[in-house]
C-alpha cells in the first residue's frame, strides 16, 4: 500500500548478511555482560530510498502510521562534523592537558602506570583523517572499515588531541600510548553511522573507548543535534555500552537545550527527568571556553543529558581542523564539541589505562560516573545555567578513586581523611610546636604513641629560645611517597591565614611516607630564637610536597578563588590556627578588680580581592563567666552592630574601638560584612572566668566564613597548667 502511494520507493535492509551475523554475536555478548540490556530486534531495520520528486517526510509519516512499524524517520545523511573552526614544541599550548582548573591534568596521569592509555583500544568514528601526518604516523593508526572520505583535517585534529605521538615534532596526545584505529561513516553500503558502530564493535574489547565525532539534524532539518536522536544510531550505541565499550558522544553544536528535544510522539527522550528518557549509556559531551571559570561555549548544545565538557575553543592540535590534507599542518583554533569530545575520550583512556595496570577495567556506567562526578572535576562557570556537566580532573580521579599514586596530606581536623570536606580548616592535629626537641618523634607522636588523635600537642612559643615544630603526614594513595618535603611557616593569629601573612620557619625531608595512611612524623624543624618574633601565640602553617603530589606555589594561593578551592579540595596544606594558651591561667585580681584574659587576633580579608565575610564566636565557658569583643567601630559598623550594645569606646592607633558583649555559653553571630582586599582588623576577646572555675579547661572559637563555607578559625583552650605535660618535658630535657 505504501509503495503504491509513493511510486518508485525501494526498501533494503540496513545491515547486510555479514553485519547481521556480527550484530547477533554482539547481542549475545551484550546479554552476557549487561543483565539490564533490553534487546531490540536489530535485524528489522530497513532503509527506504526515495526517488526524486518523492517527499521523504511524507513517506516517513505514512510509514509511521502503518501496522507493524515502530519507528519511521528521515535520516539526515552526511553533515559537517561538530566544529566551526578553520622536546614537542606545541605541547606548551595544550592547556587542556594542564592541571585543573585549567584542564584535565593529563600531565599528572602520565606519571601513573597506564595513565597514558597504554593497553587500551581507541576508535574514532567520523569521515576522514590524514593518517600519515608527521605527528600521527608513528602511532600506526589503521582503518577498520569505510572510506577516508571527507573532512580530513577535522579527523586529524581529533586524533592529535587523543593520541598525538610523543616525537618532539608538535603536540602530545592526552593518551599517546593507546592503540588507535578509525572507522568511517562512509561504509560500502553508503553513509551509515549505525553500520560504522557495528563495524567498530567487532574489533573492540571490553573497556575500550569509541568516540563518535558526528552530529545530525532531526528529520534532516533544523539545528545540529547528537546522533543518538536517530533510533538506529541510539540502538547501536546502546549495544556498544551493553557489550562494555565506553562511548563518548559529541552533544552537537546547535545551541539547543536538549531537555526540550522531542521525538515523533512528542516525548522528551533526552531529558533525564521525564519518564520518556532513553539512556544509551554514552558519555555525552558539551563544550566550554578555554579560560576558567569555563563558561559554556556559545554553540554547544546543553541540558541535563550532558555528562561532561571539554575545551570548545583555542585547542592546539594536528591538522587544520576542517578539510585540509597537509601532513604537517597544525591549528590552534580547533573548537566546538569536536574539540571538547576528544578531551573526554582521552580522559577515559587515561583512567582505563591506569585501571588496567592494576588488573581491572571500568564499565561504561562506572566510567561515566567517574568522569561526570562534580567532586572529581571542574564545574563550569554557572552549572545550573550552562548545563554541560563537569570537566574531569584526572589527578582527583586517579588519587581519590583509583588510589594509584601517592597522595600525601596533613589533617585539617581530627576526622579529616584527606578528601574534600566542609569541616574545620584550621584545627590541624598534625602541625604543632614544642619548646623542647623530642629524641624520637616517630615513637613519641606516631602510631602506637597514644597521641595519634590528639589535637593538644602544641606548646606556647617562647621568645628568646629555640622552639621545635613537628609535622605528621599521611598517605592515602596506592604507592609509597618518597622524599616528602614538609615546610612550615608562622603567621600572626588570624581568622584567615592567607600567604601574605606567612613567614618561613624551615622544612624537613621525610624519606618515605608509606601508603595505607601510616602516620609518619618529620624530624624537628628548628625555629631559632632570633627568629621568634615575640613571646606570644602563633598560627603554624604547613605545606607537604612530593614529586607526584606537588603543593601549590604561594603565588597561586594569593588568588582568592584558587585559595578557597585549594583549602577545600586539596589536602597538601593545613594550619593549626589554634592560639594555645592551655598552660596560662587567667590573670589574678588586681586591687579587688577581676582582670580579663585578653586574646588578641586579626580578622583579615583576601589578599587581592574584596569579599563578603562572616564572623562568628563560639564559646563554652562556665557559669557566671563573661565574654566581650573589642573591635574597631569601622568593622562593627559594617557588621551592623547596633550602637546601643556597644559598652564603651577606647582610642587606639587613632581609631575608635568599642566593646560588645557576647554569649559566653554558645554562639554569637556577629554578621556579614565586606572585607576590603588586604584589610587586617585588629580585635581582642576579653574573657572573665570566676576563680572557683579556673581549675577546668574551656574553649573559645572565632570562625570566619565566605559563601557559607568556613575559611578559617582560631581556637583558644583556656585552663590550668598541664602538669602531666610538664613532667614529660622535664623527662625529655633530662634525656637530651
Is 2.60.40 the CATH classification of the domain at 408-549?
yes
As a whole number of angstroms, the distance between CA 498 and CA 478 comes to 31
**Domain extents for the chain?**
2-65, 91-402, 408-549, 597-718
Distance from C-alpha of 147 to C-alpha of 163, rounded to nearest angstrom:
21
510's CB contacts (< 8 A; 6+ apart) are 473, 483, 484, 485, 486, 520, 522
Q: Which SS3 state, helix, strand or coil, does residue 416 take?
A: coil
Q: How many CB atoms lie within 10 A of CB 19?
A: 21
Choose among 102, 154, 104: nearest CA to 290.
Answer: 102
First-to-last C-alpha distance (Å) of the chain = 104
The whole-number average pLDDT for the span 86-111 is: 85
C-alpha to C-alpha distance for 680 and 556, rounded to whole angstroms: 21
Q: What is the DSSP letter of 402?
A: I
Q: For residue 682, give Cα distances in angstroms to 631, 657, 662.
A: 7, 10, 17
Mean pLDDT value across residues 343-358: 95
pLDDT one-digit tens code per residue, 522-576? 999 999 999 988 766 778 999 999 887 778 777 777 778 777 766 666 688 888 7
Q: Any idea what DSSP says for residue 489? A: E
How far apart CA 322 and CA 155 sit, in angstroms, is 8
What average pLDDT does the chain have?
87
The grid coordinates listed for 693 are: 572555675
CATH no. for 597-718: 2.60.40
Please, are residues 676 and 611 in contact by the beta-carbon 8 Å criterion? no
* Residue 164 · residue 146 · CB < 8 Å: no
Per-residue pLDDT tens for 153-206?
999 999 999 999 988 888 999 999 999 999 999 998 889 999 999 999 999 999
Q: What is the DSSP string of 680-702?
A: EEEEEEEEE--GGGTTS-EEEEE
pLDDT band at 87 (very low <50, low <70, confident <90, very high): low
Which one of 162-171, 339-348, 415-424 scores highest in mean pLDDT? 339-348
- CA separation for the pair 186, 228 (Å, rounded): 17
Q: 583558644: which residue's cell?
A: 716
Are both 408-549 and 597-718 of the same fold? yes
Select the highest-mean-pLDDT range: 101-105, 403-407, 430-434, 532-536: 101-105
Lowest mean pLDDT among 25-29, 149-153, 346-350, 611-615: 25-29
Runs of H (alpha helix) within 327-446: 336-357, 364-371, 383-386, 394-396, 441-445
What's the angle, vertex CA 533, arms to CA 531 and CA 538, rounded to 5? Answer: 110
What pLDDT is stored for residue 722 in this prediction?
54
Least confident of 60-64, 93-97, 559-563, 704-708: 559-563
329 versus 576: the higher-pLDDT residue is 329
Helix axes 193-201, 17-33, angle to 10 degrees: 60
- Is 70 exceeded by the pLDDT of residue 91? yes
CA atoms within 13 A on the CB side of 321: 24
pLDDT of residue 568: 63
State mean pLDDT over 586-608: 76
Length of the chain: 736
Query: With bands split at pLDDT 50, 70 and 90, how would you rate the model's confidence at 417?
Result: confident
pLDDT tier at 302, thresholds 50, 70, 90: very high
One CATH from 3.40.50.200, 3.90.400.10, 3.30.70.120, 3.20.20.10 for 91-402: 3.40.50.200
pLDDT at 584 over 50: no
The DSSP annotation for 582-605 comes to TT-PPPPPBTTBPPPEEEEEEEE-
Cell numbers 597506564 correspond to 114
By percentage, how much of the chain surpasses pLDDT 90? Answer: 57
600 to 524, 628, 714: CA distances (angstroms): 28, 12, 11
Q: What pLDDT band is residue 89 in, cutting at 50, 70 and 90?
A: low
| Helix H or strand E segment including 250 | strand 246-250
Please tell me the predicted confidence (pLDDT) of residue 647: 76
User: Between 17-33 and 231-242, two packed helices, what is the crossing angle to 10 degrees?
Assistant: 50
Non-local (6+) Cβ contacts of 181 within 8 A are 121, 122, 123, 124, 141, 142, 143, 144, 200, 203
CB 706 within 8 A of CB 687: no
Q: Where does the pLDDT of residue 649 fall: very low under 50, low under 70, confident under 90, or very high at 90 and above?
A: low
- Residue 409: its H or E element: strand 408-409
Copy the grid coordinates of residue 154.
Answer: 577535522
Amino acid at each position: 500500500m505504501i509503495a503504491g502511494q509513493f511510486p518508485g520507493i525501494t526498501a533494503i535492509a540496513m545491515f547486510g548478511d555479514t553485519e547481521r551475523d556480527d550484530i547477533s554475536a554482539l547481542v549475545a555478548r551484550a546479554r552476557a555482560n549487561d543483565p539490564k540490556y533490553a534487546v531490540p530486534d536489530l535485524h528489522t531495520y530497513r532503509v527506504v530510498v526515495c526517488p526524486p520528486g518523492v517527499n521523504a517526510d511524507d513517506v516517513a509519516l505514512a510509514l509511521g502510521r502503518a501496522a507493524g512499524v515502530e519507528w519511521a524517520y528521515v535520516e539526515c545523511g552526511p553533515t559537517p562534523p561538530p566544529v566551526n573552526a578553520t622536546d614537542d614544541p606545541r605541547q606548551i599550548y595544550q592547556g587542556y592537558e594542564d592541571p585543573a582548573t585549567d584542564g584535565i591534568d593529563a600531565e599528572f596521569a602520565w606519571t601513573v602506570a597506564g595513565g597514558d592509555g597504554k593497553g587500551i583500544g581507541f576508535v574514532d568514528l567520523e569521515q576522514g583523517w590524514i593518517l600519515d601526518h608527521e605527528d600521527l604516523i608513528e602511532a600506526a593508526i589503521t582503518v577498520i572499515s569505510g572510506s577516508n572520505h571527507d573532512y580530513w583535517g577535522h579527523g586529524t585534529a581529533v586524533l592529535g588531541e587523543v593520541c598525538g605521538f610523543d616525537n618532539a615534532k608538535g603536540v602530545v596526545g592526552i593518551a599517546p600510548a593507546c592503540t588507535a584505529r578509525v572507522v568511517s561513516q562512509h561504509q560500502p553500503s553508503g553513509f551509515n553511522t549505525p553500520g560504522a558502530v557495528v563495524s567498530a564493535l567487532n574489533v573492540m574489547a571490553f573497556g575500550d573507548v569509541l568516540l563518535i565525532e558526528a552530529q545530525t539534524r532531526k528529520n534532516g532539518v533544523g539545528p545540529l543535534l547528537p546522533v543518538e536522536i536517530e533510533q538506529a544510531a541510539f540502538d547501536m550505541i546502546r549495544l556498544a555500552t551493553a557489550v562494555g565499550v565506553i562511548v563518548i558522544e559529541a552533544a552537537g553544536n546547535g545551541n539547543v537545550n536538549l531537555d526540550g528535544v522531542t521525538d515523533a510522539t512528542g516525548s522528551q527522550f533526552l531529558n533525564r527527568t521525564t519518564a520518556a528518557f532513553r539512556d544509551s549509556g554514552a558519555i555525552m559531551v558539551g563544550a566550554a571556553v578555554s579560560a576558567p571559570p569555563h563558561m559554556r561555549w556559545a554553540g554547544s548544545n546543553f541540558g541535563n543529558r550532558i555528562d561532561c565538557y571539554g575545551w570548545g575553543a583555542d585547542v592546539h592540535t594536528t591538522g587544520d581542523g576542517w578539510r585540509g590534507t597537509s601532513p604537517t599542518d597544525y591549528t590552534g583554533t580547533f573548537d566546538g564539541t569536536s574539540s571538547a569530545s576528544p578531551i573526554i575520550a582521552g580522559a577515559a583512556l587515561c583512567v582505563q589505562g591506569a585501571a588496567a595496570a592494576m588488573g581491572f577495567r571500568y564499565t561504561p556506567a562506572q566510567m561515566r560516573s567517574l568522569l561526570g562526578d562534580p567532586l572529581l572535576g571542574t564545574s563550569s562557570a554557572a552549572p545550573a545555567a550552562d548545563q554541560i556537566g563537569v570537566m574531569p580532573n584526572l589527578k582527583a580521579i586517579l588519587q581519590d578513586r583509583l588510589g594509584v599514586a601517592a597522595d600525601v596530606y596533613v589533617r585539617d581536623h581530627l576526622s579529616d581523611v584527606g578528601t574534600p570536606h566542609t569541616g574545620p580548616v584550621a584545627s590541624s592535629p598534625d602541625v604543632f610546636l614544642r619548646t623542647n626537641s623530642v629524641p624520637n618523634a616517630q615513637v613519641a607522636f606516631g602510631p602506637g604513641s597514644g597521641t595519634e588523635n590528639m589535637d593538644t600537642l602544641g606548646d606556647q612559643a617562647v621568645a628568646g629560645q629555640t622552639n621545635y615544630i613537628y609535622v605528621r603526614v599521611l598517605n592515602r594513595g596506592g604507592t609509597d611517597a618518597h622524599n616528602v618535603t614538609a615546610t612550615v611557616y608562622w603567621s600572626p593569629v588570624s581568622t584567615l591565614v592567607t600567604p601574605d601573612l606567612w613567614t618561613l620557619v624551615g622544612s624537613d625531608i621525610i624519606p618515605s611516607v608509606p601508603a595505607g595512611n601510616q602516620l609518619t612524623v618529620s624530624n624537628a624543624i628548628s625555629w631559632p630564637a632570633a627568629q621568634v618574633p615575640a613571646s606570644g601565640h602563633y598560627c603554624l602553617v604547613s605545606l607537604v610536597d612530593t614529586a607526584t603530589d606537588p603543593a601549590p606555589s604561594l603565588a597561586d594561593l594569593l588568588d582568592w578563588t584558587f585559595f578557597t578551592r585549594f583549602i577545600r579540595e586539596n589536602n597538601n596544606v593545613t594550619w593549626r590556627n589554634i592560639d594555645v594558651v592551655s598552660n596560662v591561667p587567667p590573670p589574678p585580681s588586681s586591687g579587688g578588680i577581676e582582670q580579663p584574659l585578653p586574646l588578641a587576633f586579626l580578622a583579615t580579608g583576601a589578599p587581592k580581592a574584596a569579599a563578603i565575610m562572616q564572623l562568628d564566636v563560639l564559646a563554652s565557658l562556665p557559669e557566671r563567666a563573661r565574654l566581650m569583643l573589642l573591635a574597631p567601630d569601622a568593622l562593627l559598623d559594617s557588621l551592623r552592630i547596633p550602637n546601643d550594645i556597644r559598652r564603651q569606646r577606647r582610642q587606639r592607633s587613632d581609631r575608635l574601638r568599642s566593646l560588645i558583649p557576647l554569649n559566653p555559653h554558645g554562639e554569637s553571630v556577629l554578621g556579614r560584612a565586606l572585607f576590603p582586599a588586604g584589610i587586617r582588623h585588629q580585635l581582642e576577646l576579653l574573657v572573665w572566668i570566676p576563680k572557683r572555675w579556673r581549675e577546668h579547661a574551656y574553649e573559645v572559637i572565632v570562625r570566619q566564613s565566605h559563601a557559607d563555607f568556613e575559611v578559617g578559625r582560631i581556637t583558644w583552650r583556656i585552663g590550668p597548667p598541664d602538669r602531666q605535660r610538664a613532667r614529660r618535658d622535664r623527662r625529655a630535657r633530662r634525656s637530651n
